[in-house]
Structure 1
C-alpha cells in the first residue's frame, strides 16, 4: 500500500515535469509537506480541455454514491488488479483519473525488531507520478463538492519486495500521459499502470515519520547509526 508520502516539489519542477502552464502570479496550491497523510489535502494533476491542470483533493476517495464521506479514510489506495471492476473505483478509473505528484514515499518493513520506516524516492531526484483516481461528492444539490482521490497500487517489484509487498503505481512520461488521456482505452490504461517504474533508491529513516504531527525536512534524512 501507500499510506504516507512527501511532496516538497517546487512549482516549476512540477510544471516542467508534467507540462503545466504556470503564470508569474500563480501561488502554490499547498505548502511543502514531508509527511503527507490520508484525509489531508494533496496536489493532483488532471486533464483539461487544452492542457493538464494542477488542483487540490482530499486523500481518501469518496464514491459519488456514498452516504457518508467518512468512507474515504478507508479508500486511500486502489489495487490495479481490481480497479476496473471494484464498484468503489471503477467509475473513477473509467472517467476521472489523475496524477499525484510526489517527491518520494514511505514504507514500513517488518522484521524481528519491529517496523522500520524507509524513504523511497527516484534515483535521479525527478518528481514521481503516482497513478490516481478522482471523485466528486456532495450530500445534496445545495452543498459544495468534496473532491477526493486515491492512489493506485501494484505488486512490489524487484528489490522493493524486501521492504513491502505493494508499491504505488509510479509512471514514466508516456505512461502518465496515457493515464490522463480521456480517450485511452481500458487495456491501454492497465498497460500504462503496469509499465516499468522509474529507478528508485531508498534508505531507512527515523520512526518520527509515523506521527502525522511531525513534518520537517529531517524526516527524509537517513537514520544515523
Structure 2
C-alpha cells in the first residue's frame, strides 16, 4: 500500500545521492518541489534511464493498458510484477524511480482511520521502485506508472500490511540499468529495500491530508 507520499526537497538534493555513476540530461532547478501530499492521478517527477542517460519527466501516477476498461492502478505487487500479464512489459522496459521523503498510511482505530507519516529515522530520502509505460516523455493521460509494494515487516506491519519498495541509493541505481532482466531487477529491489527498523513515524491530523 502507498496512496500518498511527500516529495518536497529539490531535485538536486535527491540526485546527489544517486548521480555519481550516471550521465544526466536533467536541467538544474534549485526550487524545492514542495509537495507534501502527492496523490494518485497527479503528475510526479519520475527518474528513468534512456540510452544510458538519466531523464526526469513529469508522469501521471496511475496506469492502465489501452484494453483495460476498469479502475486504473496505482500500485503493483513486487512478488508478481515480473510475471503478471498486466505489468510484465512495464517491469522489463519501464523501470523507474520516484523520489520521496515520507509516505502516509492509515490505520484503523475504532471507527476512524488515523493517518501516519512514515520516514527514515536519519531523514535521508527514499527511492521508490516504480514501473510504467514508456517512453515517459510522452504526454499520455491514459498511461503512466505504478509504485511497487511489498509485504510490510517489523513494526511497520502494525500500521499496514503493505509498504512501498523503498530502496537504498545503490539498489536504486542498479534498478534503472537496462543490462539486467526484470527478474534480476526485482531481486535487486528486494535485496536493496530499506529495513523496517530504519523507519519511524508519527500520527498526522486527518485534516492536513487534503487532496492536491
- TM-score, length basis structure 1: 0.81
Deviations 1:149-188, CA, capped at 9 Å, x for gaps: 1100000011100100000001112211221111112332
2:40 counterpart SS class: coil
Q: Which has the larger radius of gyration?
A: 1
1:118 counterpart SS class: strand
Residues 124 and 62 (structure 1 numbering): CA distance in 2 closer, same or farther, change over 3 Å? Answer: same
Residue aligning to 1:197: 194
Contact 2:149 2:162 (C-alpha < 8 Å) held by counterparts: yes
Residues 50 and 74 (structure 1 numbering): CA distance in 2 closer, same or farther, change over 3 Å? Answer: closer
Residues 29 and 47 (structure 1 numbering): CA distance in 2 closer, same or farther, change over 3 Å? Answer: farther
Q: Which runs of 5+ in 1 are unaligned?
A: 138-142, 214-225
Out of 101, 104, 108, the residue aligned to residue 102 of structure 2 is 104
- Residue 18 of structure 1 deviates from its aligned partner by 2.2
Give me the whole-angstrom Cα distance separating, in 2, the residues matched to 1:112 and 1:67.
36
Q: What is the number of residues matched between the two proteins? A: 203
- Residue 7 of structure 1 deviates from its aligned partner by 0.5
Q: Which runs of 5+ in 2 are unaligned?
A: none
Give me the whole-angstrom Cα distance separating, in 2, the residues matched to 1:86 and 1:144.
25
- Residue 123 of structure 1 deviates from its aligned partner by 1.5
Residues 97 and 30 (structure 1 numbering): CA distance in 2 closer, same or farther, change over 3 Å? Answer: farther
Residues 53 and 144 (structure 1 numbering): CA distance in 2 closer, same or farther, change over 3 Å? Answer: closer
Cα RMSD (Å) of the superposition?
Answer: 2.5
Contact 1:62 1:135 (C-alpha < 8 Å) held by counterparts: no
Give me the whole-angstrom Cα distance separating, in 2, the residues matched to 1:187 and 1:38.
27
Residues 170 and 206 (structure 1 numbering): CA distance in 2 closer, same or farther, change over 3 Å? Answer: same
Give me the whole-angstrom Cα distance separating, in 1, the residues matched to 2:90 and 2:134.
9
- Residue 144 of structure 1 deviates from its aligned partner by 5.5
